[in-house]
Amino acid sequence: MRVLIVDDEPVARRGLRRLLARDRDMQVVGEASNGREAVRLIRELRPDLLLLDVQMPEMNGFDVLAEVGVDAVPALVFVTAYEAYALRAFDVQALDYLLKPFDDDRFRTVLARAKREFAHRNESDLARRLEQLLAQHAAASAPPDNPLHRLLVRDGERALVVQTSDIDWIEAADYYARLHIGSATHLIGESLNELERRLDPGTFLRVHRSAIVNLSRVRELRLDYRRRHMLVLSTGALVPVSRARRGRLEQLLGGG
Protein backbone atom coordinates (compact mmCIF):
# COMPACT_ATOMS: atom_id res chain seq x y z
CA MET A 1 0.00 0.00 0.00
CA ARG A 2 1.23 3.48 -0.92
CA VAL A 3 0.91 5.70 2.17
CA LEU A 4 0.69 9.48 2.56
CA ILE A 5 1.40 10.91 6.03
CA VAL A 6 -0.29 14.19 6.97
CA ASP A 7 0.64 15.80 10.31
CA ASP A 8 1.78 19.30 11.24
CA GLU A 9 4.21 17.95 13.86
CA PRO A 10 7.61 16.82 12.46
CA VAL A 11 8.14 14.43 15.39
CA ALA A 12 4.80 12.74 14.69
CA ARG A 13 5.62 12.36 10.99
CA ARG A 14 9.00 10.81 11.78
CA GLY A 15 7.38 8.41 14.24
CA LEU A 16 4.78 7.27 11.72
CA ARG A 17 7.40 6.84 9.02
CA ARG A 18 9.55 4.76 11.38
CA LEU A 19 6.65 2.46 12.26
CA LEU A 20 5.61 2.07 8.63
CA ALA A 21 9.17 1.12 7.65
CA ARG A 22 8.77 -2.06 9.69
CA ASP A 23 5.94 -3.30 7.46
CA ARG A 24 7.00 -4.59 4.04
CA ASP A 25 3.47 -4.08 2.72
CA MET A 26 3.73 -0.32 3.25
CA GLN A 27 5.53 2.28 1.15
CA VAL A 28 5.56 5.95 2.25
CA VAL A 29 5.15 7.99 -0.93
CA GLY A 30 4.92 11.42 0.67
CA GLU A 31 4.50 13.63 3.73
CA ALA A 32 2.44 16.79 4.21
CA SER A 33 2.85 19.25 7.07
CA ASN A 34 -0.42 21.11 6.53
CA GLY A 35 -3.85 20.70 5.00
CA ARG A 36 -3.18 22.63 1.81
CA GLU A 37 -0.12 20.52 1.04
CA ALA A 38 -2.13 17.39 1.83
CA VAL A 39 -4.79 18.30 -0.72
CA ARG A 40 -2.15 18.78 -3.41
CA LEU A 41 -0.36 15.50 -2.63
CA ILE A 42 -3.57 13.45 -2.46
CA ARG A 43 -4.46 14.66 -5.94
CA GLU A 44 -0.95 14.16 -7.32
CA LEU A 45 0.06 10.88 -5.68
CA ARG A 46 -3.32 9.10 -5.33
CA PRO A 47 -2.14 7.11 -2.25
CA ASP A 48 -3.80 3.90 -1.14
CA LEU A 49 -3.72 4.84 2.55
CA LEU A 50 -3.97 8.26 4.16
CA LEU A 51 -2.76 8.83 7.75
CA LEU A 52 -4.48 12.14 8.44
CA ASP A 53 -4.04 14.40 11.46
CA VAL A 54 -7.28 16.01 12.66
CA GLN A 55 -6.01 19.18 14.30
CA MET A 56 -3.89 21.31 11.98
CA PRO A 57 -3.71 25.08 11.53
CA GLU A 58 -5.67 26.73 8.70
CA MET A 59 -7.06 23.47 7.22
CA ASN A 60 -7.92 20.63 9.59
CA GLY A 61 -8.45 17.02 8.60
CA PHE A 62 -12.14 17.51 7.87
CA ASP A 63 -11.34 20.50 5.65
CA VAL A 64 -8.92 18.33 3.68
CA LEU A 65 -11.58 15.67 3.08
CA ALA A 66 -14.12 18.27 2.01
CA GLU A 67 -11.62 19.90 -0.35
CA VAL A 68 -10.48 16.79 -2.21
CA GLY A 69 -13.94 15.22 -2.26
CA VAL A 70 -14.89 11.86 -0.81
CA ASP A 71 -14.40 10.05 -4.13
CA ALA A 72 -10.67 10.88 -4.06
CA VAL A 73 -10.10 9.71 -0.48
CA PRO A 74 -8.25 6.39 -0.13
CA ALA A 75 -8.31 4.02 2.84
CA LEU A 76 -8.27 6.40 5.77
CA VAL A 77 -6.84 6.45 9.31
CA PHE A 78 -7.30 9.54 11.44
CA VAL A 79 -4.54 10.63 13.82
CA THR A 80 -5.52 12.80 16.79
CA ALA A 81 -4.42 13.87 20.24
CA TYR A 82 -7.72 14.80 21.87
CA GLU A 83 -10.69 14.88 19.50
CA ALA A 84 -12.90 12.66 21.64
CA TYR A 85 -16.12 13.68 19.88
CA ALA A 86 -14.59 12.88 16.49
CA LEU A 87 -13.34 9.50 17.64
CA ARG A 88 -16.91 8.46 18.35
CA ALA A 89 -17.88 9.45 14.81
CA PHE A 90 -14.95 7.52 13.36
CA ASP A 91 -15.98 4.40 15.24
CA VAL A 92 -19.60 4.68 14.11
CA GLN A 93 -18.49 5.04 10.50
CA ALA A 94 -16.04 2.09 10.82
CA LEU A 95 -13.06 4.34 10.04
CA ASP A 96 -10.07 3.66 12.24
CA TYR A 97 -8.03 6.13 14.27
CA LEU A 98 -4.78 6.51 16.17
CA LEU A 99 -5.00 8.39 19.45
CA LYS A 100 -1.71 10.09 20.33
CA PRO A 101 0.32 8.80 22.04
CA PHE A 102 -0.20 5.28 20.72
CA ASP A 103 1.91 2.15 21.14
CA ASP A 104 3.28 -0.25 18.54
CA ASP A 105 0.54 -2.83 19.15
CA ARG A 106 -2.19 -0.28 18.46
CA PHE A 107 -0.41 0.84 15.30
CA ARG A 108 -0.13 -2.74 14.03
CA THR A 109 -3.83 -3.31 14.73
CA VAL A 110 -4.78 -0.20 12.78
CA LEU A 111 -2.56 -1.18 9.83
CA ALA A 112 -4.09 -4.66 9.75
CA ARG A 113 -7.57 -3.16 9.56
CA ALA A 114 -6.46 -0.74 6.85
CA LYS A 115 -5.07 -3.63 4.81
CA ARG A 116 -8.31 -5.56 5.12
CA GLU A 117 -10.34 -2.53 4.06
CA PHE A 118 -8.02 -1.95 1.11
CA ALA A 119 -8.21 -5.57 0.00
CA HIS A 120 -12.00 -5.68 0.15
CA ARG A 121 -12.78 -2.02 -0.40
CA ASN A 122 -16.08 -0.89 -1.79
CA GLU A 123 -15.40 2.62 -3.05
CA SER A 124 -19.05 3.66 -3.18
CA ASP A 125 -19.56 2.48 0.41
CA LEU A 126 -16.44 4.36 1.57
CA ALA A 127 -17.68 7.54 -0.15
CA ARG A 128 -21.08 7.16 1.53
CA ARG A 129 -19.51 6.75 4.96
CA LEU A 130 -17.23 9.74 4.48
CA GLU A 131 -20.15 11.90 3.37
CA GLN A 132 -21.98 10.92 6.56
CA LEU A 133 -18.90 11.72 8.63
CA LEU A 134 -18.50 15.17 7.05
CA ALA A 135 -22.19 15.88 7.60
CA GLN A 136 -21.84 14.93 11.27
CA HIS A 137 -18.81 17.19 11.63
CA ALA A 138 -20.61 20.10 9.98
CA ALA A 139 -23.56 19.67 12.34
CA ALA A 140 -21.25 19.52 15.37
CA SER A 141 -19.46 22.68 14.20
CA ALA A 142 -22.63 24.70 13.60
CA PRO A 143 -23.40 27.61 15.96
CA PRO A 144 -25.32 26.38 19.01
CA ASP A 145 -29.10 26.91 19.05
CA ASN A 146 -28.91 27.64 22.77
CA PRO A 147 -25.52 29.23 23.58
CA LEU A 148 -23.93 28.62 26.94
CA HIS A 149 -24.59 31.46 29.42
CA ARG A 150 -23.48 29.92 32.74
CA LEU A 151 -20.78 27.55 33.93
CA LEU A 152 -20.42 25.73 37.23
CA VAL A 153 -16.83 25.82 38.52
CA ARG A 154 -15.27 24.28 41.63
CA ASP A 155 -13.54 26.49 44.17
CA GLY A 156 -12.38 24.30 47.02
CA GLU A 157 -15.50 23.03 48.78
CA ARG A 158 -17.75 25.44 46.88
CA ALA A 159 -19.33 25.29 43.42
CA LEU A 160 -19.54 28.74 41.85
CA VAL A 161 -21.91 29.83 39.10
CA VAL A 162 -19.98 31.88 36.53
CA GLN A 163 -21.75 33.98 33.92
CA THR A 164 -19.99 33.51 30.58
CA SER A 165 -20.30 37.24 29.96
CA ASP A 166 -17.90 37.77 32.90
CA ILE A 167 -15.14 35.67 31.27
CA ASP A 168 -12.25 37.65 29.76
CA TRP A 169 -10.62 34.76 27.96
CA ILE A 170 -10.18 30.99 28.12
CA GLU A 171 -6.88 29.17 27.93
CA ALA A 172 -6.23 25.56 26.95
CA ALA A 173 -4.81 23.39 29.74
CA ASP A 174 -4.29 19.91 28.25
CA TYR A 175 -7.73 18.26 28.29
CA TYR A 176 -9.12 21.03 30.50
CA ALA A 177 -9.69 24.77 30.13
CA ARG A 178 -8.69 27.66 32.37
CA LEU A 179 -11.16 30.54 32.69
CA HIS A 180 -9.67 34.00 33.23
CA ILE A 181 -12.07 36.34 35.04
CA GLY A 182 -10.36 39.53 36.15
CA SER A 183 -7.53 38.46 38.45
CA ALA A 184 -9.13 35.07 39.18
CA THR A 185 -8.71 31.80 37.26
CA HIS A 186 -10.79 28.62 37.36
CA LEU A 187 -9.96 25.21 35.87
CA ILE A 188 -12.92 23.33 34.39
CA GLY A 189 -13.24 19.82 33.01
CA GLU A 190 -14.05 20.75 29.42
CA SER A 191 -11.70 21.12 26.49
CA LEU A 192 -11.35 24.29 24.46
CA ASN A 193 -12.96 22.51 21.50
CA GLU A 194 -16.05 21.64 23.55
CA LEU A 195 -16.38 25.19 24.87
CA GLU A 196 -15.93 26.67 21.41
CA ARG A 197 -18.91 24.66 20.16
CA ARG A 198 -21.13 25.72 23.09
CA LEU A 199 -20.30 29.42 23.50
CA ASP A 200 -22.04 32.25 21.65
CA PRO A 201 -19.98 32.75 18.45
CA GLY A 202 -21.03 36.40 18.38
CA THR A 203 -19.35 36.99 21.74
CA PHE A 204 -16.47 34.51 21.89
CA LEU A 205 -13.88 33.74 19.21
CA ARG A 206 -11.16 31.11 19.02
CA VAL A 207 -8.11 33.25 18.15
CA HIS A 208 -5.47 30.57 18.66
CA ARG A 209 -5.42 26.81 19.12
CA SER A 210 -4.83 27.53 22.82
CA ALA A 211 -7.12 30.56 23.40
CA ILE A 212 -10.71 31.82 23.15
CA VAL A 213 -11.42 35.49 23.88
CA ASN A 214 -14.47 37.51 24.83
CA LEU A 215 -14.55 40.04 21.99
CA SER A 216 -15.95 42.77 24.25
CA ARG A 217 -12.69 42.64 26.25
CA VAL A 218 -10.39 43.28 23.27
CA ARG A 219 -8.68 46.66 23.38
CA GLU A 220 -5.75 46.35 20.98
CA LEU A 221 -4.12 44.11 18.38
CA ARG A 222 -0.34 44.53 18.29
CA LEU A 223 2.90 42.90 17.23
CA ASP A 224 5.27 41.77 19.96
CA TYR A 225 9.06 41.94 19.74
CA ARG A 226 9.08 38.63 17.79
CA ARG A 227 6.59 39.99 15.24
CA ARG A 228 3.79 37.79 16.57
CA HIS A 229 0.27 39.17 16.71
CA MET A 230 -1.06 39.60 20.24
CA LEU A 231 -4.37 40.81 21.64
CA VAL A 232 -4.36 43.22 24.55
CA LEU A 233 -7.46 42.78 26.70
CA SER A 234 -9.08 45.33 29.00
CA THR A 235 -7.45 43.54 31.95
CA GLY A 236 -4.01 44.00 30.41
CA ALA A 237 -3.73 40.30 29.54
CA LEU A 238 -1.84 39.41 26.35
CA VAL A 239 -3.36 36.64 24.20
CA PRO A 240 -1.68 35.20 21.07
CA VAL A 241 -3.46 35.33 17.71
CA SER A 242 -2.68 32.81 14.96
CA ARG A 243 -2.26 34.00 11.39
CA ALA A 244 -5.04 31.70 10.24
CA ARG A 245 -7.56 33.30 12.62
CA ARG A 246 -6.50 36.93 12.37
CA GLY A 247 -8.70 37.70 9.37
CA ARG A 248 -11.86 36.50 11.12
CA LEU A 249 -10.89 38.45 14.24
CA GLU A 250 -10.42 41.70 12.31
CA GLN A 251 -13.71 41.14 10.54
CA LEU A 252 -15.62 40.72 13.79
CA LEU A 253 -13.89 43.73 15.32
CA GLY A 254 -14.96 45.89 12.40
CA GLY A 255 -11.79 45.78 10.35
CA GLY A 256 -13.23 44.23 7.20
Q: Where are the domains of the chain?
A: 2-141, 150-252
Q: Is the pLDDT of residue 94 over 50?
A: no
The closest of 75, 80, 137, 133 to 106, measured between CA atoms, is: 80
Summarize pLDDT for 152-182 with one digit per residue, the tens: 887 777 788 899 999 999 998 876 889 999 9
Least confident interval from 4-18, 112-126, 206-220: 112-126
**DSSP state, 13?**
H
Indicate the average pLDDT of the chain.
81
Q: Tell me the pLDDT band of 242, cut-offs 50, 70 and 90.
A: confident
148 contact partners, CB below 8 Å, separation of at least 6: 164, 195, 198, 199, 200
Terminal Cα-to-Cα distance of the chain (whole angstroms): 47
Q: What angle, rounded to 10 degrees, do the helices at 10-21 and 104-119 form? A: 70
Round to whole Å and give the CA distance between 123 and 146: 38
3-state DSSP call for residue 138? helix
Cα-only R_g, the chain: 20
DSSP letter at 81?
S
Using DSSP's 3-state secondary structure scheme, residue 115 falls into: helix
Look at residue 89 in the predicted model and tell me its pLDDT: 46
Mind listing the pLDDT tens digit for each residue in 49-59?
Answer: 999 888 787 78
| Residues of the chain by 3-state class (helix, strand, coil), percent to 5 | 40, 30, 30
Q: What is the pLDDT of residue 42?
A: 92
As a whole number, mean pLDDT of residues 14-25 equals: 93
Condensed to tens digits (0 to 9), the pLDDT of residues 22-75 reads 999 999 999 999 999 999 999 999 998 999 888 787 788 888 888 887 667 767
CATH number of 150-252: 2.40.50.1020
Neighbours of 14 (CB within 10 A): 13
Question: Which whole number is the average pLDDT over 86-100?
Answer: 57
What amino acid occupies position 171?
A: E
Enumerate long-range contacts of 225-232, CB under 8 Å, 24 or more apart: 231/207
The pLDDT confidence band at residue 237, using thresholds 50, 70 and 90, is very high
CATH class in words for 2-141: alpha beta
Q: Answer yes or no: is pLDDT of 92 > 60.
A: no
Q: What is the mean pLDDT of residues 190-206?
A: 86
The Cα 83–Cα 168 span in angstroms is 25
* Confidence label for 235 from pLDDT (cuts 50, 70 and 90): very high
